[in-house]
Amino acid sequence: MAASSDRSPPPFSSAAEQPEEAAPADMADGDSDEGEDIFVNNTNPVAVSRGVSQPERVSEEPPDLFTEEEEAGNTNTKSNGVHSDDDNDLFADAHVELNTDKSGSSDRKELSSSSSSSSGPLPSSSFTQNPALVQPSSLEQLEEEEAKDSFDLDVAVTNPEKVGDGMNAYVAYKVSTRTSLAMFRNKTFSVRRRFSDFLGLYEKLSVKQSHHGCIIPPPPEKSVVGMTKVKVGMDDPSSVEFVERRRAALERYLQRIVSHPSLLQDPDVREFLEREELPRAVNTQALSGAGFLKMINKASEAVNKMTIKMNESDTWFEDRFQEVENEEQQLRKLQAVVDSLVNHRKELCGNTAVFAKSMAMLGNSEDNTALSRALSQLAEVEDKMEQLHQEQAASDFFIFAELLGDYIRLLGAVRGCFDQRTRAWQRWQEAQSTLQKKRESEAKLLWANKPEKLQQAKEEIADWEARVTQYERDFDRIGMTVRKEVLRFEKEKAKDFKSQIIRYLEAMVQSQQRLIKFWEAFLPEAKAIA
Amino acid sequence: MTDCLWLDEKTEDSITQNSPEQEGLDDGPDFLSEEDRGSRAVNVDLQTDATLQVDISDALSERDKVKFTVHTKSTLPNFKQNEFSVVRQHEEFIWLHDSFVENEEYAGYIIPPAPPRPDFDASREKLQKLGEGEGSMTKEEFTKMKQELEAEYLAIFKKTVAMHEVFLCRVAAHPVLRKDLNFHVFLEYNQDLSVRGKNKKEKLEDFFKNVVKSADGVLVAGVKDVDDFFEHEKTFLLEYHNRVKDASAKSDRMIRSHKNAADDINRMASSLYALGTQDATDICKFFLKVSELFEKTRKIEARVAADEDLKLADLLKYYLRESQAAKDLLYRRSRSLVDYENANKALDKARAKNRDVLQAETSQQLCCHKFEKISESAKQELIDFKTRRVAAFRKNLVELAELELKHAKGNLQLLQSCMGVLKGNT
């Protein structure tokens, strides 16, 4: 387990955390990395996850594209005792996160890292940012929060680019890592990955025994429709939005993985982050043989679940499981409502725009000049409202809806862990019953007096006894892991929800303030009608 | 001439006694009543004339009709008493309006547009659906939705009362129409006027009349007017009417989307509440707080939509009807101009043939007289129409802006204080 940590478990890409560190460690200049140094101030338009460094070095973020500040999010990683420095270094510079705007283009802001002092990896990162962002003042508040953890690894997913043409085209994302952990070859590096690579990583992680009981964050869902549009090359806003949404989801996915202490240690994860070329993960294709096999496996597991009822000695697990199921249901309901809200707001946007035009026309045909002017002003106000609604809808969507979606999938993963424990129990029970049978047959052989067979039987018994012990140990181990994981998950979830909802509310506050400005500007015009 | 501007919420007070007799309906959360409803004092110039004041003091909604109590205060000698009330239904208002339209004497005036029929169908349907779906939702959700629907019903009710009242006030304020005999009968006769609604045959006749009229209108509109004023008005009104129609439709759609979004926030609040009541942990308390916040913001959003409806959409709808009435006036004038010109031609022909000259002369004189009379009053009416329109728009736009600001500030304060609490707890 991780070395002494006086830090609380790394949060799930919670945006509100700002790690703060007392003493920056001295490290070699972080600039000495090869290739693009996306984390240091340079003009590469790259979106980087931003983190915040020590309290003294807090810097303001430059206004970003949307004239709203983004929030620093961070993912923390525990050092797991690998890092020799006990003080995890914070990045000396406050970096700003630039986000791709919906166009997914590489319009990014500059990083404002103040000094290149390399102190080591930035404490994490970015939360996927999108249109609705938070004001600078909140960032400052965040920056003043007590650091709970230090961050050794910061990862970002940026630069979606379409590669190839036609139906074989795909989108490649740039995965950039910055770390001070010794297990990586370099301090900062980046690779290009495509969506199936992310899925492949997930597949690899989920089949490993060693991770049984862990809550492995699930990747975003496949979407044939969305991808087909992108492949076909349409540059319309919906496919741009789709790519942006996916990029953000992939980033959150990776951040969750790297913030999980034992997953970070996994060589597959390392390989994913570091290795230049990754073998194509073909078994993630929906219509492949492997795909079908998976479906069949899932079906049989489902059947299994129904037939075996576990003898639960510990009610803790049952209670938790029930809670998880309830929660998932509630979240689904909430998600449906938020989706409906997003749609209605988009509708409102459209209708407001149309109305604004209509008002403008009316103003034109009005022959009283003051009234005509006032009506045109009204049309402008409505136009601005439309924009407001648009942003609000984006905020609804990117902050709230995606949060809910992530957690619904995560709850599914949690249920998966519980299932793994159940299966471990099953294995153990089956082994026990096999052992029992072997013992019975041994007894029979003893009666029948067949020495050679007896020998074999004794060997088998020994073998199965070992297995039973092994499985029992496995079961206990998984039980403990599940417990730990669930507790950690609950904490993360609470933090995540809180910070996201606060972000959402802050976006609402902003939009109300702007609304007030618009109408205040209009009022004198209306009064001037004579 | 005093004018009845777009009616303010003065009717709010007068409806307090009403009791819509729908099952289970009560005066509900009257989210339409606001303190600033008392702005009738600012009401530009309703009834400064004591000789005839009309208002709707009460209204009752029954199964499928609404009964309005029309209350009159007058010092005119024509009436038996100085103050009296009668009960009238929508059809009787329509009868009155139609009698004006059909009266040749009033051809030169803009006839105040008839109030639209009270339409509770949509609301009733929703209430019914709600009743049917009662089993599928929780008790709180049900009560909440019921309250909302009741409030919506009440809002529609108030609007229809307001529109009927505006019609009467406009008539009462018009120097010529207020003297109309039918109007007096309408106000005073306390028995049923037994004006039945038009039966199918009559409706069909009306339909054909309208078709003829519009075809005619096109022909007549082609005639260029000698008088600049009227020519200008014609082009102006045509364009204006179309654009108001467009704006009115679009504003309706926009406001409906707004209401839908507000409804969604309501459901979000319920969902969050459900999440929050699962446990007593920190995060659950957080959810409860947020749920409460959403409840409140949604109420504000709903009010914003309602106010937009009242101040903007209704204004546009009203002026749609008024501009149609003005167009009708112009049509009548053009019609009489054509008649006049035809009479001239007939006179010339008669003189040429030297037959029936006297007859042609009298008919020509009649047409001339009629035309001039209409032209004169029409001019004044159109000028008044403009003044009224500008004033009404001004009033409503100012009120709209003020209400939007008020709500936005309220919303902002709510959000900020809630955020303060939420952040403090973290």
Give the H/E segment covering residue A369. Answer: helix A369-395
Give CA–CA dist A167/A227, Å, rounded: 10
Which chain A residues are within 8 Å of B280, Cβ to Cβ?
Answer: none
Using the structure block, give the residue that is written with the tokens 């019975």.
A440
Using the structure block, give the residue that is written with the tokens 């060589």.
A267
Going by C-alpha positions, the residue among A166, A130, A143, A162 that lies closest to residue A19 is A143
pLDDT of residue A288: 59
Q: Is B222 exposed, middle or buried (0-12, 13-18, 19+ CB in 10 A)?
A: exposed
pLDDT of residue A92: 36
Quick one: how far is CA A205 from the chain centroid? 16
The set of residues, in sequence order, having a beta carbon less than 8 Å from that of A463 and lying 6+ positions away, is none
Indicate if the alpha-carbon torsion angle B352, B357, B363, B366 is positive or negative.
positive
ipTM of the complex: 0.79
Contact (CB<8Å) B275/A522: no
Contact (CB<8Å) A333/B394: no
pLDDT of residue B247: 92
Using the structure block, give the residue that is written with the tokens 């200008």.
B232
Give the H/E segment covering residue B185. Answer: helix B181-188
Contact (CB<8Å) A365/B243: yes
Give CA–CA dist A188/A32, Å, rounded: 9
Contact between A328 and A425 (Cβ < 8 Å) = no
Contact (CB<8Å) A355/B422: no
Residues of chain A below pLDDT 50: 1-150
Give CA–CA dist A473/A479, Å, rounded: 10
pLDDT of residue B225: 66
Contact (CB<8Å) A375/B393: yes
Which chain A residues are within 8 Å of B416, Cβ to Cβ?
Answer: 509
Going by C-alpha positions, the residue among B297, B318, B310, B309 that lies closest to residue B257 is B309
* Number of Cβ atoms within 10 Å of the Cβ of A146: 9
Residues of chain B below pLDDT 70: 1-50, 194-199, 216-225, 425-426
Which chain A residues are within 8 Å of B233, Cβ to Cβ?
Answer: none
Three-state secondary-structure class, residue A160 = strand
Q: B182 vs A110, B96, B188, B217, CA distance in Å?
A: 78, 7, 10, 28
pLDDT of residue B402: 93
Q: Which residue of B has its CA nearest to A517?
A: B405
Provide the residue count of chain B: 426
- Through-space distance between the first and last CA atoms of chain B, rounded to whole angstroms: 65
Q: Which residue of A has its CA nearest to B257?
A: A348
Give the H/E segment covering residue B84. Answer: strand B83-89
Give CA–CA dist A231/A229, Å, rounded: 5
Give the pairing of strands B52-61 and A188-194. unpaired
Going by C-alpha positions, the residue among B390, B389, B375 that lies closest to residue B229 is B375
Domains and CATH numbers, chain B: 50-122+157-192 (3.30.1520.10), 221-425 (1.20.1270.60)
Give CA–CA dist B398/B403, Å, rounded: 9
* Number of Cβ atoms within 10 Å of the Cβ of B372: 13
Contact between A19 and A52 (Cβ < 8 Å) = yes
Q: Which residue of B has its CA nearest to A141?
A: B423
Q: What's the longest Cα–Cα distance across chain B? A: 106
CB nearest to A516's CB, from B250, B274, B408? B408
Give CA–CA dist A452/A460, Å, rounded: 13
Q: Is the pTM of this model over 0.90?
A: no
Going by C-alpha positions, the residue among B320, B389, B415, B308 that lies closest to residue A352 is B308
Contact between A49 and A114 (Cβ < 8 Å) = no
pLDDT digits (tens, 9 = 90+) for A105-118: 333 333 333 333 33
Contact between A64 and A15 (Cβ < 8 Å) = no
A:484-513 residues touching chain B, CB 8 A cutoff: 493-494, 497-498, 501-502, 505-506, 508-509, 512-513
